[in-house]
Structure 1
Amino acid sequence: MRGPVRIGNFSGYLGDRFTAIDEVMAGDPVDVLMGDYLAEVTLAALSGRDGRRGYVSYFLDQIRPHLAAIAERGMKVVTNAGGFDPAGLADALLKAAAEEGADVRVAYVEGDDVLSRLPEYERAGHLMENLDSGEPLSAWGLEPLAANAYLGGWGIARALAEGADIVVCGRVTDASLTAGPAAWWHDWAFDDWNALAGAVTAGHVIECGPHATGGNFSGFTTIPHLLVPGFPIAEIAADGSSVITKHARDGGAVTVDTITAQLVYEIQGPRYLNPDVTVHLDTVELAATGPDRVEIRGATGSPPPPTTKVAVFALLGYEIVNTIFVTAPEVTAKIDLLRAQIGRDLPAGVELSFTRIGTAADDPQTQWDATVALRVMATAAEREPLARFGLARRLSSLYLQSIPGFFHDGASQLTGTPKPRIDYWPALLPLTAVDHRTFFEGQTYEISPPEQSETAPQPVHPEPVGALSPEDVRNLPLGTVAYARSGDKGGNSNVGIWAPDERVWPWLRLALSTVELRRLVPEIKELEVIRHEFPHLRAVHFVLRGLLGTGGSANLRVDQVGKAVGEYLRAKHVPIPVRLLSEQGSVDVTD
């Protein structure tokens, strides 16, 4: 058996630190560089750019200076920066390598783009029912701009086995960017379910880059050198177990809690579905094995589902958004007048949405303590009426005829140009209906789906039984004793809440029932809520179905993809037993 493969991440999303590859190349040795650029909102943005589709061009700028060093060190690079044009990025990489005098061999993986095949699928009886509403795609009423099936990691593994140094993908699953190289390195079989499950778990942890080293972490005040948190490394062994670490020279930290945060991020429950394997996350255990080293063990796997997810995007309309400010007193009355004035003589087809952000202090110590923001969004199905409405002009005209103290941020211009609003349709297709191909130096390699598959529904976890024992309590923020992380899965927001101290776990699981969550978060009172427990992680996990509308690219929320839902929950005051506070000892609840 070969030793562990060291896979280092250098991108967690489109827009991540441009210097990441520079940093990783200057850091600790790795065998594989992995960069994740795609997400649902990323594909939506790419598809909505006036029909201009392509790859993530700045990846080419990032990696060009390092192509010669990558070849010299014998490193591999795997990325989904191919976007809608993996072949185009592969060709551009070969040209750049020739210009840099770097001897690298480039492969690309395709088959995820199924837009042209949608009519064929409908004729074959694949209705592509919406995963949330159950309606067939034909009922959408919108013209798809893009449709991408989620591919697994075996196309990547085949490219590396054939001798590729760089593998460019479109929409493979995020974790496949790690699982594919691990399967190649260890020469796993298609049915090495537990090993594959471990690699997918490690991939899920490092796919979001500095998320694993202290970024977006509830306990950020405990993380040293967080100014520029480094990028993570997964050391994946032949049995699929792994150790998550980071480059020693870089900031941030890898702890059990930073890894837990990522494990409960953007999941639908204990069954984590991948085209190559179904991961049973409720068997995963974590253990710190040294400074900045956390072992992930115990992941178990079973055959993947017979279907894979397809992300379909269409132009829903256009939007303009601006923010203005209202100063106390009489904030509500002032906002009412602004609503009426801004919405006066509203053109047909234009709709307005107002979101009040913040609360003015009763006795403000500064002007800003007395100020709340008012976000104004105008939407329309067509660009022309929205442009004619002139939201920026309307807002600018209110200075002498509206509320006392009306202003917007004078250092920024009000926006008047409509931008596309992209709707999202999540569906399923049989794996057998999706072509998965690897292209390398004139050869095409067909990647067959796994011979075994099985449907793995999420387990049903009963609500906690038993009342909390009467004892001395203090009403304090939930975040006093718990961490959380939240994110998006289409129109659903997920949030995982866990106890960093094992002594808090019995109380937390009893306290966080679905009924209590609805009490704490009134915004979800009409929504379906799904609750699961992860005892090994000391976590309670909720899926809030429909909180994000039909998806981050189309909903009108300010927190578009639910990133702050977890922190909002941690800010809620709950009765916490005093004994837990004394046992916590060092917790600072003063804020």
Structure 2
Amino acid sequence: MNPLRIGNFSGFYGDRFDALREMLTGGELDVLTGDYLAELTMLILARDRLKDPGAGYARTFLRQLEGALGLVQERGVRIVTNAGGLNPAGLAAHIGELAARLGIPLRVAHVEGDDLTADHPGALAAHAYLGGFGIAACLRAGADIVVTGRVTDAALVTGPAAAHFGWGPGEFDKLAGAVVAGHVLECGTQATGGNYAFFQEGDVRRPGFPLAEIHADGSSVITKHPGTGGFVDVGTVTAQLLYETGGARYAGPDVTARLDSVRLRQDGPDRVRIEGVRGEAPPPTLKVGLNRLGGIRNEVVFVLTGLGIEAKADLVKDQLAAELAKSPPAEVRWELVRTDRPDAGTEETASALLRLVVRDPDQKAVGRALSGAAIELALASYPGFHVLAPPGKGDPYGIFEDTYVPQGEVPHTAVLPDGRPVRVPPP
């Protein structure tokens, strides 16, 4: 059986806008995946949904797709993305409307059941990290585009691989191989020289996005389209493989991948083969990411220029401590950043930055209380007093926590192109 060619066109919400079109036109592919969700992104989308209940998905993806939908059909490439965020059904509906408006007959499905917010009072968003078998069910039912909410990043690859090769939930070695390939692809150009410690070994001014050629036994080759920038070698793949991992066992909802079994070897220019991956049963629980608002954060950055930097910093700290004591914030943090240098040639290079950050559940404690106290020092503090920008009212900040629930308690559901919901059983 020919390998399944899976590419990536997004590693985060805000990644290269043109990457979807670049990947569709740059070479042969069977599936394209887009990863948009980080813990912070879920908070951003949750705040969007507070303003508009119909929001909660990555709007960028819909704009990217509008300019590339004809290519998707022409090339016969299936799209799998977690851009659905907090509202996969909403994004899937918009994609269907877009396809109808453009006269392009594509079948859209989505995966839901990850949203457990109702079970976690006080959370702005609470979502379980689902596996790939909901995606697989959608693809087996003929979907051209599959939209998910919160799934593991690697599930965007394990789902298509399981659907293509007919893998079942117990084929742990094969699934583990796909998890490893998915983990390498998930951050886009980090696998092709981006953010790489040894970036000088290749031209990384505009690295191409990666793709994986996945075989029926779970082994794979990581590469990129011909003629694109960046480079793929054992080093870039190793760096991404170790990214955000913490031990030999990489647990996920479909399988626990044994990272100590992974074998990498250069398989030609810009080609790295991954083989030997062993898998074990997944844990009986699913991780749930909880996002909540922690309160209001505000900051002011004082610019200290010339001599006596530390004495000037101490003066500002003493002056503001007395003012903030009238209504003390829950958290006060000072940081002196020594960007200055001796005998500097410009005012900027003779300056250090003193940053004050305050946090509190009550905006009054960190809003006007801080901005007023800081600006009133303008003519009554250290010589050369100025700040990078006037402090404002403060902004909300989020807190991410995680918890775990039994897999069987999460209603993992594939909503097929015909609208039929199919429950995905736990492994």
TM bracket, shorter-chain basis: over 0.9
**Structure 2 counterpart of 1:60, from 43, 53, 62:** 62
The 8 Å contact of residues 48 and 422 in structure 1, kept in 2 or not, is answered as: no
The verdict on how the C-alpha distance between 1:378 and 1:305 changes in structure 2, with shifts beyond 3 A counting, is same
Within 5 Å, give how 1:194-233 maps onto structure 2: 194-224=173-203, 226-233=204-211
Shift, 1:368, TM fit:
4.2
One-letter code of the match for 2:361? Answer: A
Partner of 2:285: 307
Partner of 2:50: 51
Partner of 2:360: 380
The verdict on how the C-alpha distance between 1:72 and 1:108 changes in structure 2, with shifts beyond 3 A counting, is same
Within 5 Å, give how 1:135-214 maps onto structure 2: 143-214=122-193
Give the whole-Å Cα distance in 2 for the aligned partners of 1:50 and 1:112: 16
Give the whole-Å Cα distance in 1 for the aligned partners of 2:156 and 2:328: 43
Within 5 Å, give how 1:411-490 maps onto structure 2: 413-440=389-416, 441-450=418-427
Deviations 1:193-251 (A, max 9, x none): 11100100010011000110111111112221x22111111111111111111122321
**Structure 1 counterpart of 2:303, from 322, 325, 330:** 325
Give the whole-Å Cα distance in 1 for the aligned partners of 2:201 and 2:382: 44
Give the whole-Å Cα distance in 1 for the aligned partners of 2:21 and 2:338: 40
The 8 Å contact of residues 315 and 382 in structure 2, kept in 1 or not, is answered as: yes
1:371 is aligned to 2:370: no
One-letter code of the match for 2:32? Answer: L
The verdict on how the C-alpha distance between 1:194 and 1:63 changes in structure 2, with shifts beyond 3 A counting, is same
One-letter code of the match for 1:405? Answer: G
The 8 Å contact of residues 174 and 218 in structure 2, kept in 1 or not, is answered as: yes
1:274 is aligned to 2:248: no
Partner of 1:504: none
The verdict on how the C-alpha distance between 1:263 and 1:328 changes in structure 2, with shifts beyond 3 A counting, is farther
TM-score (norm 2): 0.94
Partner of 1:25: 24
Alignment RMSD (CA, Å):
1.8
Give the whole-Å Cα distance in 2 for the aligned partners of 1:156 and 1:222: 37
Aligned residues: 421
The verdict on how the C-alpha distance between 1:51 and 1:344 changes in structure 2, with shifts beyond 3 A counting, is farther
One-letter code of the match for 1:443? Answer: R
Shift, 1:331, TM fit:
1.7
Give the whole-Å Cα distance in 2 for the aligned partners of 1:420 and 1:170: 24
Partner of 2:242: 264
Shift, 1:275, TM fit:
0.2
Give the whole-Å Cα distance in 1 for the aligned partners of 2:98 and 2:284: 40
> Percent identity of the aligned residues?
45
The verdict on how the C-alpha distance between 1:284 and 1:366 changes in structure 2, with shifts beyond 3 A counting, is farther
The verdict on how the C-alpha distance between 1:395 and 1:20 changes in structure 2, with shifts beyond 3 A counting, is farther
Partner of 2:214: 236
The 8 Å contact of residues 349 and 381 in structure 1, kept in 2 or not, is answered as: no
The verdict on how the C-alpha distance between 1:50 and 1:156 changes in structure 2, with shifts beyond 3 A counting, is closer
Question: What stretches of structure 1 of length at least 5 have no aligned partner?
Answer: 120-142, 451-591
1:389 is aligned to 2:359: no
Shift, 1:349, TM fit:
4.9
The 8 Å contact of residues 356 and 372 in structure 1, kept in 2 or not, is answered as: yes
Partner of 2:34: 35
Shift, 1:262, TM fit:
0.6
One-letter code of the match for 2:149? Answer: G
Shift, 1:371, TM fit:
2.7
SS at structure 2 position matched to 1:243: strand
Give the whole-Å Cα distance in 1 for the aligned partners of 2:166 and 2:301: 54
1:16 is aligned to 2:15: yes
Shift, 1:415, TM fit:
4.4
Shift, 1:369, TM fit:
4.1
Give the whole-Å Cα distance in 1 for the aligned partners of 2:48 and 2:206: 31
One-letter code of the match for 2:45? Answer: L
Shift, 1:394, TM fit:
4.4
The 8 Å contact of residues 185 and 212 in structure 2, kept in 1 or not, is answered as: yes
Shift, 1:304, TM fit:
0.4
Partner of 1:481: none
The 8 Å contact of residues 157 and 183 in structure 1, kept in 2 or not, is answered as: yes
The 8 Å contact of residues 48 and 420 in structure 1, kept in 2 or not, is answered as: no
The 8 Å contact of residues 68 and 101 in structure 1, kept in 2 or not, is answered as: no
One-letter code of the match for 2:236? Answer: T
